[in-house]
Amino acid sequence: MYTCIHVSLKNAKSLICDLLQNSEDIRCKCICPPYRDIEGQIYKQNVSLKDCNCLHVVEPMPVDGKDVEAYCLRCECKFEERSSATIKVTIIMYLSILGLLLLYMVYLTLLEPMLKRRLFGHSQLIQSDDDVGDQQPFANAHNVLSHSHSRPNMLNKVEHAQQRWRRQVQEQRKSVFDRHVVLS
Amino acid sequence: ISPAELASTPTEEPNGSGHLMDFLDEPFPDVGTYEDFHTIDWLREKSRDTDRHRKITSKSKESLWELIKSLLDAWSGWVVMLLIGLLSGTLAGVIDLAVDWMTDLKEGVCLTAFWYSHEQCCWTSNETTFDDRDKCPQWQKWAELMTGHAEGAGAYVLNYLLYVMWALLFSFLAVSLVRVFAPYACGSGIPEIKTILSGFIIRGYLGKWTLLIKTVTLVLAVSSGLSLGKEGPLVHVACCCGNLFCSLFSKYSKNEGKRREVLSAAAAAGVSVAFGAPIGGVLFSLEEVSYYFPLKTLWRSFFAALVAAFTLRAINPFGNSRLVLFYVEYHTPWYMAELVPFILLGVFGGLWGTLFIRANIAWCRRRKTTLLGKYPVLEVIAVTGITAVLAFPNPYTRRSTSELISELFNDCGALESSQLCDYVNNPNMSRPVDDIPDRPAGPGVYNALWQLALALVFKIVITIFTFGMKIPSGLFIPSMAVGAIAGRIVGIAVEQMAYHHHDWLIFKNWCRPGADCVTPGLYAMVGAAACLGEPRRPQKRSSPLLRQSRPEKRSRKKGLNGTSREESTPPTLATDERGPRGKAPLWAFLTQDPTRVEELEALIKDTDYKGFRVVISRESERFMGFVQGRDLPLAIRKSPFKQDGVVSSSVVYFTEDAPLLPPTNPQPLKLRRILNLSPFTVTDHTPMETVVDIFRKLGLRQCLVTRSGRLLGIITKKDVLRHMAQMMNQDPESIMFN
């Protein structure tokens, strides 16, 4: 059970209330099989664990009087709870990470070669032998960048680290995808 | 890797600015580290750790601060386990929730809150009926959403189309991400982790990018409906977490042997979250994955597995405080006569395993050698397309494999209303829910039977082509599915036979009419267990690169009984040249007499030896010690930063005290610390079985061979492997080396 945090701003209060307090996150689910001429039914209610039995949840009771006990014996009641906030946060976080990765992938594969080509011109991009079978001109970009190496400031360091990472990935890609030595 | 490549390792110029950003600089390899795709020296790591521990213990007596530091060092192991458990559990929970949602996304969407899966969306609704437990107006299939019609041929075709399109989209994203960011994230990961744990180095296999990409693409791959599971990759994810936290403590980051203890425990945590079974995880790590498993690691693994399981429980992905989807209880005992169908299921499991292994290896070989291997992205898309197109019509293959297995394990009580439980009920039945006697099967059950048979054939065939593609894939769940389907079919067959022919001799003593006799769900579980045990022999499909690091596995199966004493001399003489076979057997050695740095550098540049012996002098050739080939250039190159004044013409010495030199000479370079003064030696009369035993039990990489006190040659791990390959009539040249 979560209590609602009282915040002064009305909008923020309702938002936090929605996020934290969700009485719909618990339920008691009773499954009752067919009995005589009554067909099978499922009953759900937001009750706590102590009230999770046939008498409290099955409403309206389809049988009356003496049959209630026989009917209830066949029913199975289970208490379940979930955390809708966790589900919401997890899915949204996952989608945002996936989106970021996709954007970065699009940038690496499509935009960056285009930008580099426009900045440095065609003449400086020499295809090396290593790039046969690999469409991304990673190695060239490293050579091109080293021409413009002025002094070791942070941007250049990030660039160098990125180039190093790309070379590692290229090596991995060669051994896994091209030569099939690792991971068959 | 030749020393020439080592020489090209970029060294950063020492700059005074930007110390905060030093982590972006390339880490300069330290003396005593290992090259990529080489094995570690277990003995060296163990002795280093003992030294470190001794130092800390002796220093702890000095002051309170040192005592606290020694306590922190002792506790760091448990802290690492805690962190691994927390992160593995969290990631497993995220993966479970995301897979749940994305699998349902192929069929429809929740209108009230798009992040809910089908079951979660209908959680509070009151419109669910007994027969259709998942139906509610808040969750709509795509056809209903787009056109407004829920039934009809048009709606079916539209649903079909969208299902296939979503599946293709997910798998395309998965393979693209793997290809661009982390190619090591494909496959299951367990064979490679076994290799790493036995002492092999694969740089980047347990890296941060691999961790991220594996987590993200695993969700995509499983959600796309392909016939693969997520249990194997979860072990890889957990080991990546283990590697990540190792780097926090120098006790583990600098010592490869200790790191592997942590990775063993991390593997246990991975299996623990995959199945919700901490003890199962520890046993898996102990039996399957680990090479070196001391008792301390047993407790630490259990701790990590428990923490991971509790974290997963806290995230509660399945909404009812269970950890795994397969939670079943059977109330009827089984009878001895049921052993016959159980044995049949076991035989089926073995047959399926053989078929799968042979077919999969043949297909993987085809992938390696032909054009198929050049188009991994297209291959993934094609296989996904075929899988989705064939899986949609059959309701048992349309849903996720875990749900299928869970339904097959389920015992059919009165509360179930699925097609599989469509038995003819006695309307006057008054038994309680669990003890329903055997009933004749209704038409729904027969319908389900032939659909399940089709599903079985489909799954067997498609898994052969799915496993080995360049996306994260596990083999546990598809194997269990095949076994569960087969088991359920057999169980229903036995059940109906027992009901209709209860007067036969075998059933008469066992099945009384009116009593619960056969539980088909139990047969499904037995079938799943039978099929799970078989295909997990991945060493056979791994490349030779992996084979070479596990010599003990081979020799345990086939002893070296073939070797006799006469063979003891040739193995050592043939291997006294290092490097590729057939090269001129030049012995390069360093003497204790002073040499200059530039002479050493010339020696390293001209030759590509992996090791050098150090002798007293060229004349006496009395053996002093051994220097690893990798350490020598590193030590020379690193020295200018440590001792000023060392230049090319400096003298190099291996003795304890510097040689007497005139004061005009530049500072001499002491290289005693890279000298191994106690390398392992055998004589040339040592029988080959003993040599193999020594390599296996001690985890050696090389062993020196002496004769009459003089150093004769060296025998390395690869030579031993080649010898064993020859013993088993395999091609010794297939053992690869860099």
What ipTM did this prediction achieve? 0.82
Q: Is the pLDDT of residue B509 over 90?
A: no
- Chain B residues within 8 A of A78 when measuring between CB atoms: 320
- Chain A residues within 8 A of B195 when measuring between CB atoms: none
Query: Of the segments B163-172, B414-423, B641-650, which one has the largest average pLDDT value?
Result: B163-172
Beta bridge partners of residue B229, listed in sequence order: B474
For B115-167, the pLDDT digits (tens) are: 998 888 888 887 777 777 778 888 889 998 888 888 888 899 999 999 999 99
Look at B124 and A40 and tell me if their CB atoms are within 8 Å: no
In Å, what is the CA distance from B111 to each residue of B136, B145, B148, B212, B599?
11, 9, 14, 30, 77
DSSP assigned state of B285: I
- Chain B residues within 8 A of A32 when measuring between CB atoms: 130
Looking at chain B, the whole-number percentage of residues with pLDDT higher than 90 is: 34
- Please provide the distance, in angstroms rounded to a whole number, between the alpha carbons at the two ends of chain B: 6
pLDDT at res. A1? 41
Q: Is the pLDDT of residue A133 over 60?
A: no
Name the pTM for this structure. 0.82
C-beta separation of B624 from B615 below 8 A: yes
pLDDT band at B514 (very low <50, low <70, confident <90, very high): low
How far apart (Å, rounded) are the C-alpha atoms in residues B577 and B96? 54
C-beta separation of B167 from B388 below 8 A: yes
Torsion of CA B127, B132, B135, B136, to 10 degrees: 0
Beta bridge partners of residue A142, listed in sequence order: none
Look at A87 and B173 and tell me if their CB atoms are within 8 Å: no
Q: How far is B97 from chain A (nearest CA, A)?
A: 7
- Chain B residues within 8 A of A182 when measuring between CB atoms: 184, 192, 202, 543, 545-546
Beta bridge partners of residue B652, listed in sequence order: B595, B669
pLDDT band at A23 (very low <50, low <70, confident <90, very high): low
Question: Looking at chain B, which residue has its C-alpha nearest residue A103?
Answer: B177
Q: What mean pLDDT comes out for the span B333-352?
A: 90
Among the partner-chain residues A32, A158, A180, the one whose CB lies closest to the CB of B24 is: A158
* Mutation target vs A (from B95, B115, B171, B318; most A CBs, 10 A cutoff): B115
* Mutation target vs A (from B9, B21, B175; most A CBs, 10 A cutoff): B21
Q: Give the E-state strand segments of B181-237 in sequence order.
A: none
Q: How far is B308 from chain A (nearest CA, A)?
A: 17
How far apart (Å, rounded) are the C-alpha atoms in residues B274 and B262? 19
- Chain B residues within 8 A of A184 when measuring between CB atoms: 187, 364, 367-368, 468, 541-543
Among the partner-chain residues B24, B123, B204, the one whose CB lies closest to the CB of A161 is: B24
In Å, what is the CA distance from B344 to each residue of B356, B363, B476, B519, B527?
18, 28, 21, 16, 9
Q: How far is A63 from chain B (nearest CA, A)?
A: 16
| Cis amide bond preceding A60, omega within 30 | yes
C-beta separation of B394 from B458 below 8 A: yes
Q: What share of chain A is helix, strand, coil (3-state, %, to 5)?
A: 55, 10, 35
Please name the residues in contact with B449: beta carbons below 8 A apart, sequence gap of 6 or more. B489, B492
C-alpha R_g of chain A: 31
pLDDT at res. B519? 86
For B164-219, the pLDDT digits (tens) are: 999 999 999 999 999 999 999 988 889 899 989 988 888 889 999 999 999 999 99
pLDDT at res. B17? 39
Look at A176 and B433 and tell me if their CB atoms are within 8 Å: no
Q: How far is B368 from chain A (nearest CA, A)?
A: 6
Look at A169 and B209 and tell me if their CB atoms are within 8 Å: yes
Look at A182 and B184 and tell me if their CB atoms are within 8 Å: yes
The alpha carbon of B108 is separated from its chain's Cα centroid by a whole number of angstroms, namely 34
Among the partner-chain residues B113, B184, B192, the one whose CB lies closest to the CB of A172 is: B184
Look at A33 and B414 and tell me if their CB atoms are within 8 Å: yes
